[in-house]
Structure 1
Amino acid sequence: MSAHRFDLDLTQPAQSGVYFVGTADLDRLAKAARRDELQVCRTDLGGCADKHELLQRLAVSLTLPASFGHNWDALADCLRDMGWLPAWGYVLLFERGDDLRNAAPEDFTTLLGVLDDAATFGADHDKPWFAFLALPDEAFDGS
Structure 2
Amino acid sequence: MDILEFLSNFPPTEKWFFIGVRWLGPDLSFFKALKQIQSGRSIADMSQWGGGERQILAEKISQILHKQLGWRSAIFVPQDVATVAFYGPSFGIIDADIAFDDMVEMLRKDYSMNPTISFWESMENSTLGQLIDGLLALR
TM normalised by structure 2 equals 0.29
Higher fraction of helix: 2
Bigger Rg, structure 1 or 2:
2
The structure, 1 or 2, with the larger RCO (C-alpha pairs under 8 Å, 6+ apart) is: 1
Higher fraction of strand: 1
